Amino acid sequence: MSFTQDKDSDNYATDKMAWEIIEKFIPKDKVIWSPFYCDGKQKEYFEEMGYNIIHQDKDFFSYVPEYDIIVDNPPFSKMKEICFKLKELDKPFILVAFSKVILMKWFKNYLKNIYK
């Protein structure tokens, strides 16, 4: 869902050119779920690039459609909660995020718990 009510900086929409840069890493034969809505343009961008995408203004923490992989730019202030939800969902994902996330203590512990 749109996180405008939480923090304005969480509603940064990724432009099409940025998605095109990583397009080769995103599988074309999968149903993509992009749960973080922002301005809703991501659906348009991904469809133009030939992807089957689910992109609706719904709450990521309570709504889960049928999908194969999550590809999105999540709200950074909720990154910890999002990562724990991703672990619970137990499906592949690609997130656009600050590289410093991998240096955070909670993230290191998160990875240790996944890759025991």
Q: How does pLDDT run across 9-30, given as a tens digit for each residue? A: 666 788 999 999 999 999 999 9
Structure tokens at 47: 């469809």
Cα torsion angle, 18, 22, 24, 27, sign: negative
Name the DSSP class of 10.
G
Q: How does pLDDT run across 31-82, given as a tens digit for each residue? A: 999 999 888 899 999 999 999 999 999 999 999 999 999 999 988 888 889 9
pTM comes to 0.84
**How many CB atoms neighbour CB 5 within 10 A?**
9
